[in-house]
A and B are shown apart, each in its own frame.
Chain A
Amino acid sequence: MTDGHDHHHPRPASAVELRARALEALLAERELVSTDAIDAVVELYENDVGPQNGAKVVAHAWVDDAYRGRLLSNPNEAIAELGFGGAEGDNMVVVANTPIVHNMIVCTLCSCYPWPVLGLPPTWYKSPPYRARAVSEPRAVLREFGLELGDEVQIRVWDSSAEVRYLVLPMRPAGTDGWSEQELAAIVTRDCMIGTALPVAGQPVGA
């Protein structure tokens, strides 16, 4: 029943973490909360919490080549330059998409995720099918996400761990010339930075 909430890398749960779980179990028993309801709130706030930090990092890399270089060679410091980082984001690796390489991230063991830049992981990221199939048949998984890549594009799958967390740097889409950094950040979705989607240049959104 609590499956899916114990998805951190094998390490001893802290006392406070155990307390949180115990309280949740007690509240669930009293039908004051349900796992789904908590998930829904977490998901709702996900957009508030979420991937904006990463989107700002990506957009900044798109408009500033020197920053892009620093981001790829020294991600932790480059991300910290923008004021992000901290626990669990300390060993970031940024992998850049190119016309012939597409990157996607997974955590095959559990759900390690670059929190400080992407917020909370989506439910599917934690699901056993994604974790297994991202490695065994990434192209098929991407197709299910609606992402059809040409045969010439090689797919690289990066397995996150407690030590290393990955962030995908997508390519700046055509049709975004002259867009502000803010407008660019608005089209960088969470999935783009996991590698299960590509940014799409629609109408610029945001101010």
Chain B
Amino acid sequence: MTGRRSSLATIDAALGAGTSLPRDNGELVFEEPWQGRALGMGVVVLDRLGVPWADFQRHLVAAIASRTPEESESAATAYYAAWLDALEALLAERRLVDARGAEIEGE
């Protein structure tokens, strides 16, 4: 992998207050391993493609707004589910991967 890894501080700054990573007393909250991997995937993909975090944040705002949380769902589950939605939307927009259907073949 080339390029520098986004620091948590970079991500925090880009996400802002409204879509900030779930935390408890300042520490990140991962209730289950997939939530950490969802975050990791986002970081690797954005760094790899050089996508600004602001772009991702826009998708995340939309994903959170359009999602109806399930009743039994925890805040972190809801957040990282929206995170996956946002990542999929960003990839689809850039015509890289369509996770909701078939892969989009190369440009």
Residues of A within 8 A of B (CB): 5, 7-8, 14, 16-17, 19-24, 26-27, 29-30, 32-34, 37-42, 44-45, 48-50, 52-53, 83-84, 86-88, 111, 115-116, 119-120
The A/B interface has a contact count, at CB < 8 Å, of 114
Q: Please tell me if the beta carbons of B31 and A23 are within 8 angstroms of each other in the complex.
A: no
CB–CB A86/B29 < 8 A? yes
Is there contact, CB below 8 Å, between A120 and B30?
Answer: yes
Residues of B participating in the A interface, judged by any CB pair closer than 8 Å: 1, 5, 8, 24-25, 27-41, 43-45, 48-49, 74, 76-77, 80-81, 84, 87-88, 91, 96-97, 99, 103
User: In the assembled complex, how far is the CB of residue A103 from the closest CB belonging to chain B, in whole angstroms?
Assistant: 24
Cα-based distance from A50 to B36 in the complex (angstroms): 12
**Least distance between A145 CB and chain B CB atoms (Å):** 23
Shortest Cβ distance from A83 into B: residue = B25
Contact indicator A42/B34 (Cβ below 8 Å):
no
Q: Which residue of B lies closest to A13 (CB)?
A: B34
Q: Which residues of A contact B27 (CB under 8 A)?
A: 48-50, 52-53, 119
Q: A44-B5, A83-B24 are in contact. Are A23 and B88 (CB under 8 A)?
A: yes
Q: Distance (Å) between the CB of A196 and the closest chain B CB?
A: 20
